[in-house]
């Protein structure tokens, strides 16, 4: 069984509420390689089968499908098409991008490439670099982008960084990628058949009996199923980093189905399984009339968190306010899942700002991201408290009024009690 020994691409998918935007499908597939590159048997048939499946079963229209096959799939043609799509695809639209072909990993510079129809074997300047694809995705205005890449070394499209936290709202933008492998060659399949990766992907899409299939569920199913059928090939499916992912997720919607069906279908998976908002919220229940205040802080600033809780105690008792921190996770519940559920339901989120706060990847990738998204939607009151002098690395956070109002860090006040009093008086106004 031959391998796809160079790199293949696939990158964008996202569907928006029905009739709220267009669902575009871009498929690129090459069998007829020349210039010293071995031809493939199944790339084009895989891509055509994927397109047929989406048009037949899900809400994709033929006139919004764009194809580049064999000799037409050249580097200049694809770059020109990328530029056109950047202009054409609007913020309410979604794009699914599928690439099947050869991929190449250049070990000396640790960079992956796609080999298009006009590529020459051994001539890197004729390849399309992963960073060029990532730049295309980054500049798209689309609500959701979902990429599928069936090629060797396709996992090099991912960057080494902290994974984005899962989102529970469909409305947030997403940039997801599903690749046939990681840093290894992947099988092309026997002539006349689909590749093992495409076979698995198509089977899941075609046999899906649910009205809605979330990208996260699709990726997990592909990863799980292919392990039992192909040796030494491990797909990868997760958000693509540093190209505009905001914690959202695309959903494949069956033809004839309206969106959204109910409030539950708007929520996204948390942890390993899909849990809709009603289940997600059950981890933490607000009492009637109760306001929830969540304090986000770095572990190094524990003493400041304790001080704030002490200062807030009388205020909260008089106003039916519940204070929560990472110390309040129930026994037997995953910490990150519980805290995320609180972040999505809190009425007030307080950040204790210091260099430790900004240095924490956990806080920046989860707490800050979720809080800012909800703040922009006016769903939460966001209050940064300035503990100690530090460099603010988040421009959006810097635009929010900080306490103390004079923007002097608490550590710089001659009387810390006076600083905390000024903060509590301001919080009293917010919480009333």
Q: pLDDT tens digit string along 328-381?
A: 877 666 677 788 888 888 999 999 999 999 888 889 888 998 999 899 888 899
Digit-coded pLDDT (tens) for 378-427: 889 999 999 999 887 677 888 899 999 999 999 999 999 999 999 999 98
Neighbouring residues of 224: CB distance < 8 A, sequence distance ≥ 6: none
Q: Which of 3-7, 86-90, 344-348, 362-366 shows the lowest per-residue confidence on average (mean pLDDT)?
A: 3-7
DSSP category for residue 390: -
Mean pLDDT rounded to a whole number for the chain:
78
Question: For the whole model, what pTM was predicted?
Answer: 0.53
Report the distance separating Cα 118 and Cα 74, nearest Å.
Answer: 5
SS3 7: strand
pLDDT greater than 60 at residue 266: no
Q: How far apart are CA 246 and CA 252, in angstroms?
A: 19
Residues with Cβ within 8 Å of 348's Cβ and at least 6 positions away in sequence, in order, are 291, 292, 293, 294, 380, 381, 382, 383, 427, 430, 431
Distance, CA of 343 to CA of 351 (rounded, Å): 12
- pLDDT one-digit tens code per residue, 182-194: 444 444 444 556 7
E strands of 343-415, at which residues?
348-353, 381-386
Instruction: Please report which confidence band the pLDDT of residue 181 belongs to, taking 50, 70 and 90 as the band edges.
Output: low
Q: How far apart are CA 190 and CA 1, in angstroms?
A: 6
| Residues in contact with 331: Cβ distance below 8 Å, sequence separation at least 6, in sequence order | none
Q: Give whole-number Cα distances, 118 to 50, 114, 383, in Å.
A: 24, 11, 55
What's the pLDDT score for residue 71? 95
- CA torsion angle 303 308 309 310 (round to 10): 90
């Amino acid at each position: 069984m031959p391998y796809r020994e160079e790199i293949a691409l696939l990158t964008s998918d996202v569907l928006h509420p029905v009739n709220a935007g267009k669902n575009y499908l871009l498929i690129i597939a090459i069998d007829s390689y020349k210039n010293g590159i071995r031809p493939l048997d199944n790339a084009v048939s895989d891509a055509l089968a994927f397109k047929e499946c989406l048009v037949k079963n899900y809400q994709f229209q033929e006139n919004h499908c764009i194809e580049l096959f064999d000799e037409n799939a050249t580097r200049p043609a694809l770059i020109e098409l990328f530029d056109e799509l950047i202009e054409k695809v609007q913020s309410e639209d979604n794009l699914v991008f599928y690439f099947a072909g050869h991929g190449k990993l250049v070990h000396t510079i640790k960079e992956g490439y796609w080999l298009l129809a006009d590529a020459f074997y051994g001539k890197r300047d004729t390849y399309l670099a992963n960073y060029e694809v990532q730049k295309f995705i980054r500049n798209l205005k689309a609500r959701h982008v979902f990429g599928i890449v069936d090629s060797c070394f396709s996992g090099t499209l991912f960057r080494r960084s902290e994974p984005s936290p899962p989102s529970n709202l469909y409305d947030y933008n997403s940039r997801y990628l599903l690749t046939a492998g990681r840093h290894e060659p992947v099988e092309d399949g026997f002539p006349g058949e689909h590749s093992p990766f495409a076979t698995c992907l198509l089977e899941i899409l075609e046999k899906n009996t649910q009205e809605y299939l979330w990208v996260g569920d699709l990726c997990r199913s592909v990863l799980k199923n292919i392990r039992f059928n192909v040796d030494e090939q491990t797909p990868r499916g997760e958000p693509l980093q540093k190209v505009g992912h905001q914690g959202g997720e695309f959903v494949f919607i069956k033809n004839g189905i309206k969106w959204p069906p109910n409030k539950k279908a708007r929520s996204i998976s948390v942890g390993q399984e899909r849990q809709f908002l009603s289940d997600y919220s059950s981890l933490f229940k607000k009492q009637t009339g109760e306001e929830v205040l969540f304090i986000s802080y770095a572990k190094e600033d524990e003493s400041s968190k304790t001080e704030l809780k002490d200062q807030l105690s009388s205020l909260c008792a008089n106003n039916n306010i519940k204070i929560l921190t990472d110390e309040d996770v129930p026994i037997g519940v995953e910490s990150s899942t519980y805290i995320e559920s609180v972040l999505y339901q809190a009425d007030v989120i307080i950040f204790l700002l210091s260099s430790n706060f900004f240095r924490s990847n956990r806080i920046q990738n989860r707490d800050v991201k979720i809080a800012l998204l909800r703040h922009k939607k006016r769903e939460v009151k966001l209050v940064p408290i300035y503990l100690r002098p530090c460099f603010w690395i988040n421009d959006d956070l810097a635009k929010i009024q900080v306490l103390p109002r004079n923007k002097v860090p608490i550590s710089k006040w001659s009387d810390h009690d006076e600083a905390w009093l000024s903060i509590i008086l301001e919080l009293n106004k917010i919480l009333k």
